Structure 1
Amino acid sequence: MRYAAPLVAGRLQRRYKRFLADVTLDDGAALTCHCPNTGSMLGCAEPGLRVWLSASDRPGRKYRHTWEQVETREGVRVGIHTGRTNALVREAIDAGRLLPELGAAPAVRAEVPVPGAPMRADFRLEDADGVRYVEVKNVTAAVEAGIALFPDAPSSRGVRHLEVLTGLVRAGGRAALVFCAQREDATEVRPADAIDPAYGRALREAIAAGVEVLALGARVEEHGIRADRRLPVVCP
């Protein structure tokens, strides 16, 4: 996934109201940008961190800039834009290399309602074996070296999604969950049990039921982000 134009660099002053952040650009200009991440952004939203923004001239936008990347205190570049995650996973599905379990599905649809459930799946894959619903989660938090954690804040919505996927599989269907860690230091993904124990329980239940739980690591670079490796999902 490549950005349409070069990113603008600056320093984070504060992130607030979930969707807003104040940034001072390298040229000294101060601005407010859109923050496309509803989580707590653990370790990624401290004042003073180096950040990169995209810019848009689309009419009707209240804030021209969108926060795309941050460099943590440890010097790790992280993609915080949750809206980029589906594009990364879609590229991996289409390539058929990093996610062979999902197959080279000839029919892929995005943002599809799950029949009879309060959820829109990120992808609906259809092949000769039938239909598979796929949910994608963006991972930015890592509190220990190499261990990426999800979620970074209690997520009743995430638990509900797992319950839907588990119900699909128990009813004879197919479902998958793909974590995408947009940070190059990630070596594995784990449930953040200390932050949201309910999510950890729901994830383990989904795995036991047969939901395919997969994870990708992505390299965050100046001109774009690319999923470049598989990561194990560890549930100790």
Structure 2
Amino acid sequence: MIFDPPLESAELLRRYQRFMAEVYLPWGEKAVLHCPNTGAMTGCCTLGSQVWFSDSRNPKRKYPLTWEIVEVDGGHLVGVNTHRANALVREGIEDGTVAELQGYDRIRREVRYGEGERRSRIDLLLEREGERCFLEVKSVTLGREDGLGLFPDAVTARGTKHLRELMGVAAAGDRAVLLFCVQHTGIDRVAPADQVDPVYGRTLREAAAAGVEIIAYGAEVSPEAIRLTGRLPVLL
């Protein structure tokens, strides 16, 4: 995923009201960025951090600038725009990087699945003759100093619901996959954040035992581009 136009840099002053961030631009002005991340962003909001943002150049948007990357402790870069994760994974499937998900004829986005009135939308549905693969993507940005990545960084009832729906998919005979998209250059393995959301951790292990495939892929992150690189271990 190449950033075009290129990202611009700034200094982080604060994140506020969850979806907003105030930054200091190199030429001395302040600006407000849209923050497309619903999590706690632990370790990614330190005052004075260098950040990079995209410019939609859309005059109809109230906040046309979007926070994309931050430099965290250790000099690692983190892609904080969780909306990029699905596109990154799809790109990784189509270019052959995600080896486990090759051989499908069609990929569809946001297809409804599950039961009940408030059915979810699967991130990606992969199909070939007689076979379907339901793929849920989660973006990992919480990293420890020892290289361990953790998910989630905040309690996620929605994420737990998705796991249970994937368990239903597997029970019905379709393929069900949860892929952790790790947009953090300092992470080399992934585990559930049991101290943050023990319910999610328990449900993740139940899902794995029920036939849901749990995989993780790391990424190269730079102000020029983000792309998936290779599979990372998932520690359950």
* TM-score category, normalised to shorter length: over 0.9
Q: Deviations over 1:208-232 (max 9, x none)?
A: 0111111100010121101111101
User: Could you tell me how far apart the structure 2 residues matched to 1:187 and 1:149 are?
Assistant: 11
- State the AA in 1 paired with 2:112: P
Partner of residue 121, structure 1: 122
Q: Deviations over 1:83-116 (max 9, x none)?
A: 11111100111123x3222222111101111153
User: Could you tell me how far apart the structure 1 residues matched to 2:209 and 2:145 are?
Assistant: 26
Whether 1:105 aligns to 2:109 is no
By how many angstroms is 1:73 displaced?
2.3
User: Could you tell me how far apart the structure 2 residues matched to 1:115 and 1:198 are?
Assistant: 20
SS of structure 2 residue aligned to 1:144: coil
By how many angstroms is 1:67 displaced?
0.2
By how many angstroms is 1:173 displaced?
1.9
- State the AA in 1 paired with 2:146: A
Q: Deviations over 1:115-149 (max 9, x none)?
A: 53521000011113411111000000012321011
SS of structure 1 residue aligned to 2:199: helix
Partner of residue 78, structure 2: 78
Partner of residue 179, structure 2: 178
Contact persistence 2:218–2:232 (CA under 8 A): yes
Unaligned stretches of 5+ in structure 2? Answer: none
- State the AA in 2 paired with 1:177: L
Partner of residue 3, structure 1: 3
Tell me the TM-score normalized by structure 2.
Answer: 0.96
Partner of residue 12, structure 1: 12
Partner of residue 89, structure 1: 89
By how many angstroms is 1:78 displaced?
0.7
Unaligned stretches of 5+ in structure 1? Answer: none
Contact persistence 2:13–2:21 (CA under 8 A): yes
Give the total of aligned pairs.
Answer: 234
Please tell me the root mean square deviation across aligned C-alpha atoms, in Å: 1.2
- State the AA in 2 paired with 1:165: L
- State the AA in 2 paired with 1:27: W
Matches within 5 A, 1:39-54: 39-54=39-54
- State the AA in 2 paired with 1:102: L
Contact persistence 1:94–1:104 (CA under 8 A): no
Contact persistence 1:149–1:190 (CA under 8 A): yes
Partner of residue 62, structure 2: 62
- State the AA in 2 paired with 1:89: V
User: Could you tell me how far apart the structure 1 residues matched to 2:126 and 2:145 are?
Assistant: 34
User: Could you tell me how far apart the structure 1 residues matched to 2:99 and 2:220 are?
Assistant: 20
- State the AA in 1 paired with 2:151: F
Tell me the TM-score normalized by structure 1.
Answer: 0.96
Partner of residue 168, structure 1: 169
- State the AA in 1 paired with 2:183: Q
Partner of residue 202, structure 2: 201
User: Could you tell me how far apart the structure 1 residues matched to 2:130 and 2:44 are?
Assistant: 41
Contact persistence 1:36–1:80 (CA under 8 A): yes
SS of structure 1 residue aligned to 2:36: coil
Contact persistence 1:93–1:104 (CA under 8 A): no
- State the AA in 2 paired with 1:85: A
